Amino acid sequence: MRIEEEDMATVKFLCDVERCIDCGGCVVACKEGHHVPVGVNRRRVITLKQGEPGEKSISVSCMHCADAPCIAVCPVDAIYQRTDGIVLVSKKTCIGCGYCFMACPFGAPQFPAGNVFGARGAMDKCTFCAGGPEENFSAEEKKLYGQNRIAEGKVPLCSGMCATKALLAGDADVVADVYRERVFKRGSGVNAWGWSRAYQK
Amino acid sequence: MAGVANTWGYGAMTNSLNDIRHAKSMIFIGSNATEAHPVALQHILHAKEVNNAPLIVVDPRFTKLAAKSTDFVRIRPGSDGAFIMGLINAVITNGWQDKEFIRTRVSGYEEMAEVAAHYTPEIVEDITGIPASEVTRIAEMLATNRPTSLTWCMGGTQHSIGSSITRSFCILQLVLGNMGKSGGGTNIFRGHDNVQGATDMGVLADNLPAYYGLSDGAWKHWCKVWDVDYDWIVGRFPAKEWMNKKGFSLARWYEGVLNEEEIETPTPIKAMIQWGCGSNSNSQYNRVVKALNMLELLVIVDPFPTIAAAVTKTDNVYILPGASQYETSGSVTSTSRQIQWRHKVVDPVYDSKSDYQVMELLVNKLGFADEFYKNIKQTPEDITLELGSGSLTIGYNGQTPERIKKHLANWHTFDIDDLQAKGGPCDGDYYGMPWPCWTTEHPGTPILYDISKPVAEGGLPFRNRFGEERTYESSGRTENQLAAEGIYNPGSEVLGGYVEFKEVVPGTNWKTDLSQKTIKDAISRGMAPFGNARARCVVWNFPDKIPIHREPLHSPRPDLVAKYPTYEDKPNHFRVNTRYKSEQNPDLVKEYPYVITTGRMVEHMGGGAETRSNKYLAELQPEMYAEINPRLANNLGIRKGDMMIVESPEGSKIKVKAKLTPRVDEKTIFLPFHFAGTLMGESYVKDYPEGNAPFTVGDPANVVTNYGYDIVTQIQATKDGLCKVTRA
């Protein structure tokens, strides 16, 4: 039993910025697939230096941190981490205080939109398409968290949709191997980081 | 596409999206594939990363594709042809041309080279704004990284000289010897999956299905396929002569309604069906709206009520809820000429009906169901069979519904790199049997004009479509138009050029022999049914026989208008008089100083009726805007987020939000063309059927795109007009 647990994967997202083309496919796949309300962004694409040489885009969501600051600050222990590393929130426990929002370096925690004095409501964020604490595939789970594709043995919607395979999701070791292989292939010539500076090309 | 077809036979993408993985360099000109064809990017980035292929982007804007480029070249809108002729000249003057390829497979080269010689790097710099040193540098980059995959889209075609520009692209690839090769080719990306299929099926004003033209022979051929009496078809026209004349084109159909310009038609257009068409993708949109309101009958078939439904104030507009692609099935053709079966996911929702059902009800009501459905008992399989049996020109006859479905069911057996099935039930076939697929045993043609493979295995020479011999006007030289000795596909009976196959069955040729004996005879002899010829640099049936630069009708450079004037006016151009010389006023730039160009955003599609009705896409792109360079905006007193007025020389105006961005230079305004639903502050939201207005509306860009049409195809020139900009 213990050996199996140690063998279990730790899951991670990795967005390959050389590949991300800012198409928003990941964002729309997530929203459409989980019926996320307009205004709540479990994932978004950030573009830097738009319209200039060096323009780069990256798709960002909850990073499912190994040592997640949101878990550390949550006053009601609504946020928890599965053995595979996926960080989830229990919406029934969450009091909507927003501490996690302050603690998160990535702006991942989302709160339903309301009026100016509106209550924040329970926190919503990327579930790695793994649903929530409710029973797998239950109507309650679907209503509160959306699909549970991990329990179905599928990859998250966002990376499944990614047209350029920029957004990788899964076992961190496998993701790292895929990315490392890509970097090796890009390794020489025009695509290598620093090449143009080193050789004045 | 006319420019391409007139060069070597077919007007389609020559290689495939996947084949770009083999490119050693890539050049995109007038294509923002990142936003218009995001799925293709996986192959483009593969070539960039794995082959170290330079990715050259030539565009007036620093697009999202430019963000992924290794080399970005900013070009003045409308000067693409001059840049390419400059590249050709640089290649030739440096001796980088593929001499053997040109000697054996190209015609009219010397005459073309003489014209290209005018486009020195310095002259190109003056016309295009691209530094002379860049012209030579890019030419060298292409010469030293062969093969090059060349891609263009509407940025290359939507100009008054669009058909010349596309030919210059083809000639560049011929001179570099990049045709008929894996990793090379002219890879013209078409839009969503059935744009190529729609074109193939003759949704054009000058063609019957499969590019048969409008001659009596073409009509008789299709009458045989449809199994209807030719005289009965003739009887459907007011007079026989109209069968052979081009119709109004999509670009200017409204002139046939308005009846203000000089038009040539038995009667002005009174009724119209818009079937899956966003009317706001038409330039001169104010005139379009006027025409829509003058129609005696307008029928809109669409999953979403389009803007045409909202802007019409008359009572005679009918909206038929068409089903989406998920609610019906049938064959579709991709940009790579691949045919795929699309299965139905759900039955049509609410009151909607599939296109087949709508068509059937219409045909029954019009009373010619017996003729229409003679060969069609099972929909849609029999439709695919019928159209295939007649579309011999482009080899649609080998792709039976059974084979198409088998490919889809076994898609995992096909190789991502060369598209060929390795083992399994489709062993040896190329995915989707890219046309031409000559017989039901043929694997499809993944790369056009590739003489390294036998014809039976997907190889082809250039098509013999333009005779056997030609004397050029400019030089007086006579040249054989067939391929040279030693140029043939493996297994060919004739070891050199040969003419197209005819009279195998008396009175027919490979295009009209419905028994397909002619095609089979050619294949069995290792030869191409359409002959083995040279690709031509001189297109003697075009107004510019060799591509030259001509200034846009509305040019920002009066000095260049004098040097490179446009064409004479063209009466009866797709039935309507079209102004060129009389429209080109060199002083226009004084009052309208900025260049206006339009394009895609990744979130929205076409006229946007569908995508603006999706709340998540509307959330990502909620507003119409104009891209303006921060320096120009500051000079005009326009701050970020201000509303600004864009006015065209025709006097039409739109009010849009200013998006300050260095994507455009200081002389250019960019507008995305997907919006509609408001005009200068007036909203049409209330005019949509209740509850059916899109989530986001805005002023249509095409209200201010300028007058101007290609001299051959009449495609609208929306990429190189002029405008005036003020703060609202």
**Minimal C-alpha gap between B201 and chain A (Å):** 29
3-state secondary structure of B169: helix
Which one of B41, B603, B662 has the shortest CB-CB distance to A164?
Answer: B41
| pLDDT confidence band for A116 (50 / 70 / 90) | low
Domain residues of chain A, as ranges? 2-199
pLDDT at residue A196, as a whole number: 61
Q: Is B42 on the interface with A (CB under 8 A)?
A: yes
The DSSP line for A49-86 is STTSTT-EEEEEE----TT-HHHHH-TT--EEE-TTS-
**Minimal C-alpha gap between B504 and chain A (Å):** 48
Q: Alpha helix locations (H) across B543-629? A: 558-563, 588-591, 615-620
- Measured between beta carbons, the chain A residues lying within 8 angstroms of B616 are 27-28, 31-32, 38
CB contact under 8 A, A190 and B62: no
Q: Which tokens sit at B510?
A: 């490979």
Q: CATH 2.40.40.20 in chain B, residues?
A: 558-727
CB contact under 8 A, A163 and B49: no
pLDDT above 80 (res A175): yes
pLDDT at residue A1, as a whole number: 42
CB contact under 8 A, B661 and A50: yes
Q: CATH 3.40.50.740 in chain B, residues?
A: 195-333+339-398
CB contact under 8 A, B616 and A38: yes
- Helix, strand, coil shares of chain A, percent, nearest 5, are 30, 15, 55
Q: Which residue of B has its CA nearest to A181?
A: B50
Query: Half-sphere exposure of B10 toward its Cβ, with a 13 Å CA cutoff?
Result: 32
Q: Is B615 on the interface with A (CB under 8 A)?
A: yes
Q: Which tokens sit at B559?
A: 């000095």
Integer CA distances (angstroms), B112 to A20, A142, B7, B89, in order: 41, 66, 13, 10
Q: Is A165 on the interface with B (CB under 8 A)?
A: yes
Q: Is A28 on the interface with B (CB under 8 A)?
A: yes
pLDDT at residue B681, as a whole number: 83
Pick the CATH number of B195-333+339-398 from 3.40.50.740, 1.10.3720.10, 3.50.50.60, 3.10.180.10: 3.40.50.740
- Measured between beta carbons, the chain B residues lying within 8 angstroms of A190 are 52, 54, 70
Mean pLDDT per block of 10 residues along chain B (728 residues) reads: 91 96 98 96 95 96 97 97 98 98 98 98 98 98 98 96 97 98 96 89 93 96 97 96 96 97 95 95 96 97 94 94 95 96 96 96 96 95 96 97 98 97 98 98 98 98 96 96 97 97 96 97 98 97 97 98 98 97 97 97 95 96 97 98 97 97 98 96 92 96 97 96 97
Q: Which residue of A has its CA nearest to B62?
A: A51
CB contact under 8 A, B62 and A24: no
CB contact under 8 A, A32 and B616: yes
Pair B17, B40: CB distance under 8 Å: yes
B30 phi-psi bin (left φ>0, alpha ψ -120 to 50, beta other):
left
pLDDT at residue B513, as a whole number: 97
**Minimal C-alpha gap between B673 and chain A (Å):** 17
Q: Is A173 on the interface with B (CB under 8 A)?
A: no
Q: Is A38 on the interface with B (CB under 8 A)?
A: yes
Which one of A24, A164, A189 has the shortest CB-CB distance to B603?
Answer: A24
Nearest-CA neighbor of A75 among A99, A108, A106?
A: A99
Q: CATH 3.40.228.10 in chain B, residues?
A: 2-175
Q: Among B24, B25, B31, B42, pick the best mutation site for testing chain A contact (most A Cβ within 10 A).
A: B42
- Measured between beta carbons, the chain B residues lying within 8 angstroms of A50 are 661, 663
- Measured between beta carbons, the chain B residues lying within 8 angstroms of A32 are 616
- Close Cβ partners of B27 (under 8 Å, ≥ 6 residues apart): B56, B57, B58, B138, B142, B148, B149, B150, B151
CATH 3.40.228.10 fits B2-175, yes or no: yes
- Measured between beta carbons, the chain A residues lying within 8 angstroms of B626 are none
Q: Which residue of A has its CA nearest to B54?
A: A190
CB contact under 8 A, B38 and A21: yes
CB contact under 8 A, A24 and B42: no
Domain A2-199 adopts which CATH fold? Alpha-Beta Plaits (3.30.70)
| pLDDT confidence band for A199 (50 / 70 / 90) | low
Which one of B52, B66, B619 has the shortest CB-CB distance to A191?
Answer: B52
Mean pLDDT of chain A: 89
- Close Cβ partners of B237 (under 8 Å, ≥ 6 residues apart): B243
Which one of B34, B602, B662 has the shortest CB-CB distance to A51?
Answer: B662
- Measured between beta carbons, the chain B residues lying within 8 angstroms of A51 are 62, 661-664
- The interface predicted TM-score (ipTM) is 0.92
Question: Top-level CATH class of B558-727?
Answer: mainly beta
Q: Which tokens sit at B691?
A: 């509850």
Which one of A57, A164, A188 has the shortest CB-CB distance to B52?
Answer: A188
Integer CA distances (angstroms), A155 to A25, A130, A170, B431, in order: 15, 10, 7, 26
- Measured between beta carbons, the chain A residues lying within 8 angstroms of B38 are 21, 23, 25, 163-164
pLDDT above 50 (res A39): yes
Q: Among A16, A21, A30, A56, pick the best mutation site for testing chain B contact (most B Cβ within 10 A).
A: A21
- Close Cβ partners of B481 (under 8 Å, ≥ 6 residues apart): B107, B464, B466, B467, B468, B469, B470, B533, B534, B536
